[in-house]
Structure 1
Amino acid sequence: MAILSAPGLAGTAFAAPEPAPGAKSLEQVRKEIEELYRQAGTATDAYNQAETETRRQSDQIVSLAKQIAAGQDRITVLKNRAGAAARAQYRSGGLPPGAQLAMSRDPGQFLDGADRLRQGEKATAGVLSELNKTQADLQQYAKDATAHWQTLEANRVKQEAAKKQIEDKIKAAEELESKLEAEEKARLLQLEQEAQYQAQKAWLNTGALKDVKGAATEAGAQAVRFATAQIGKPYVWGAEGPDSFDCSGLTSKAWLAAGRNIPRTSQEQLRLLPKIALKDMRPGDLIIYFDDASHVGMYVGDGAMVHAPRPGRNVTIAGAGSMPIKAVVRPDAR
């Protein structure tokens, strides 16, 4: 049976009292708070993506540092070998081969030594060639490391900007809520639930679920079990568990528990995971919401999804159509 209602609101609409002249209605306040939290969600995605990229750049820098250290050790070895070859040539007197032959009492011994000398010269040339290549590699490693450092710093700047935007939006939303009386806060929650119920009802009335009959894969079922086991835990932006989650932190950790490492953010989940037609949706698939792909939930079947909604709310089950759907993506496409 498809989920149609929000708690305590099945089949009924909630009407808020008329506001005083010139004052905002509670519905206007709800929409304003909802938009602020949605913008905070967009900024959270930007923060999480910058953090992911920062980690990747840090790993690249560590790898390059190891390559540079190994290259410097290799240069030391090659220089020692080149020096040994040069000293051996010096001990031979550095005379031209013709002169050495004329002075030699044993031409056979000289020719044998000359052959070894040619081999040594060839080996020395090889050492010098490898030395030059290793030095060139080190220069490239250093150049790459500098580029990664610059990208790392740029991502840190992005993180700080996104963090400030998140905190500003959440603070503004919390200030709006703090001005409400306890009774108004209760009505605000009812209005929020009513808006979700009406959106879900309208979505179902389009026949969106008519052909949705897909069964979960084993991995999908594992992901759903993980996600639903988190119900009741608070939303915290940037959190990936185990005690709190943001929306994409919940979905990425759920699929990691099912054995698949998927992108960290809802926008990257949309970009990199295969898109699925709504009619082919099955439990475990991810539903991406809003035009900017700033929110994600996991489909659990019967027209429902599990998600971490926003600050001030806990991980919960909601109607899959309770927000504008942008796309459905599949972490275990096959």
Structure 2
Amino acid sequence: MGAGKRIWGAAAVGLVCAVTVLGGAGTAFAAPAPTPSPTTTPSVTLPPNKDLEAVRKRLEKLYHDAAVATDAYNAAEEETERQSTEIVELAREIVKGQERLAELKDRAGAAARAQYRSGGLPPEARLWLSDDPQAWLEGVSRVRQGQKATTGLLAEMTRTQQDLEQYTQDASAQWTKLEAGRKAKAAAQKTIKEQIAAAEKLESELEKEEKERLAELEREAAYKAQTSWLSSGILDDIDGKATAQGKKAVEFATAQIGKPYEWGAEGPGSFDCSGMTSAAWAAAGVTIPRTSQQQWAQLPHVDVEDMRPGDLIVYFDDASHIAMYVGDGAMVHAPRPGRTVTIAGAGSMPILGVVRPN
């Protein structure tokens, strides 16, 4: 197969990729995340004698695992959107390159036809056969210009063809990554649904009084953690004032109180934890990464003692939850499925660290 046909075939693949991507652009929510390993539905058998503290801890783990999977889903979604955009741009470059190559080939063909009509002799030969000295001198300059133009034309054709080959290679590589991202997203989605379904099943097996007691145990655990955090005297050291943008972010976040948690959601009607923090800072004019793990990895870190309203508090060793500090030892966050955006104690969960968007 000739080089031109190979390029056209590769270009067609790139264009098919782009059309496919454009056709699916309406789906979904938001550093690529690793593909979650396949999971089986977690065991949801109630502990002996319905030990509600054991139930609370088991629910906590199920929802924590769902939060980790949600971060993986959001990261994969964001990456597939980026890759889709790159494939579309590459497809456009391929089309432009094909059009440019066709134009250059037409110019080269025109030059060849002109030479044929002149008897097949190259300009240099015709010049040396001339017996007009003045015409000879003028012709030397034209020949040199023609040689330069021909050399430039051939060089541009070569560069254009090389660019086309590179574009098609890049499109193929991005398509491979896109497929991997889609698989990672599907695996994360499966994990989320399994973890949430297991938690809901566990709760559904409780009597009304047991559910009330379970809720009380959750409040007691949060209160105990917050009290321990405050007893360290941490608030004596926290006196930072919010910036103008920080105030806007806090105003947005607190205005969402009462809206339901939904994994993968970025508003306006529902949020997951990092969807709420990223939306709040977007409302303040600052773009930050989408997931809690990305926010922890990419935003500047500050000491807990130096945090101010608008800063983001990252929880758990795996950075699987994030909230916004609002001052006076409190934060606002989207807790988990079945809960709504709410105010809670900043120390009610294990703090990994604090990041500052601006």
TM-score w.r.t. the length of structure 2 is 0.84
2:19 corresponding residue in structure 1: none
* Alignment partner of 1:39 out of 40, 65, 71: 65
Aligned partner of 1:236: which letter? E
* Contact 1:85–1:120 (Cα < 8 Å) also in 2: no
1: CA distance between counterparts of 2:125 and 2:309?
88
Gap change, CA 1:169 and 1:101, over 3 Å in 2? closer
Aligned partner of 1:256: which letter? A
1:292 corresponding residue in structure 2: 318
Gap change, CA 1:84 and 1:176, over 3 Å in 2? same
Choose between structure 1 and 2 for higher RCO, CA contacts under 8 A separated by at least 6 residues. 1
Matches within 5 A, 1:43-192: 43-95=69-121, 100-101=126-127, 103-104=129-130, 106-192=132-218
Long gaps (5+) in structure 1? 1-19
Long gaps (5+) in structure 2? 1-45
* Alignment partner of 2:331 out of 286, 297, 305: 305
Q: Shift of residue 209 of structure 1?
A: 2.0
Q: Counterpart of 1:305 in 2: which secondary structure? A: strand
* Contact 2:63–2:195 (Cα < 8 Å) also in 1: yes
The structure with the largest alpha-carbon Rg is 1
2: CA distance between counterparts of 1:103 and 1:22?
109
Larger mean CA deviation between 248-257 and 62-71 belongs to 62-71
Q: How many residues align?
A: 313
2:294 is the alignment partner of 1:268: yes
2:50 is the alignment partner of 1:24: yes
Q: Shift of residue 122 of structure 1?
A: 1.3
Q: Counterpart of 1:296 in 2: which secondary structure? A: strand
2:350 is the alignment partner of 1:331: no
2:289 is the alignment partner of 1:257: no
Larger mean CA deviation between 95-104 and 211-220 belongs to 95-104
2: CA distance between counterparts of 1:124 and 1:98?
14
Q: Shift of residue 231 of structure 1?
A: 0.1
Gap change, CA 1:221 and 1:97, over 3 Å in 2? closer
Structure 1 consecutive aligned stretches of length 4 or more whose deviation exceeds 4 Å: 96-99
Q: Counterpart of 1:261 in 2: which secondary structure? A: coil
2: CA distance between counterparts of 1:238 and 1:88?
64
Aligned partner of 1:117: which letter? V
2: CA distance between counterparts of 1:102 and 1:223?
80
Q: Counterpart of 1:288 in 2: which secondary structure? A: strand
Amino-acid identity (%): 65
2: CA distance between counterparts of 1:62 and 1:114?
48
Aligned partner of 1:195: which letter? A
Gap change, CA 1:99 and 1:262, over 3 Å in 2? closer
Gap change, CA 1:97 and 1:170, over 3 Å in 2? closer
1:195 corresponding residue in structure 2: 221
Cα deviation digits, residues 243-298 of structure 1 (max 9, x gap) = 00000000000000000110000000000000001111000000000000000000
* Contact 2:128–2:136 (Cα < 8 Å) also in 1: no
Gap change, CA 1:81 and 1:125, over 3 Å in 2? same
TM-score w.r.t. the length of structure 1 is 0.90
Q: Counterpart of 2:49 in 1: which secondary structure? A: coil
Gap change, CA 1:21 and 1:127, over 3 Å in 2? closer
Cα deviation digits, residues 11-65 of structure 1 (max 9, x gap) = xxxxxxxxx9942311111111111001100000000000011111111111111
CA root-mean-square deviation: 1.7
Aligned partner of 1:129: which letter? A
Q: Shift of residue 87 of structure 1?
A: 2.1
Larger mean CA deviation between 141-150 and 92-101 belongs to 92-101
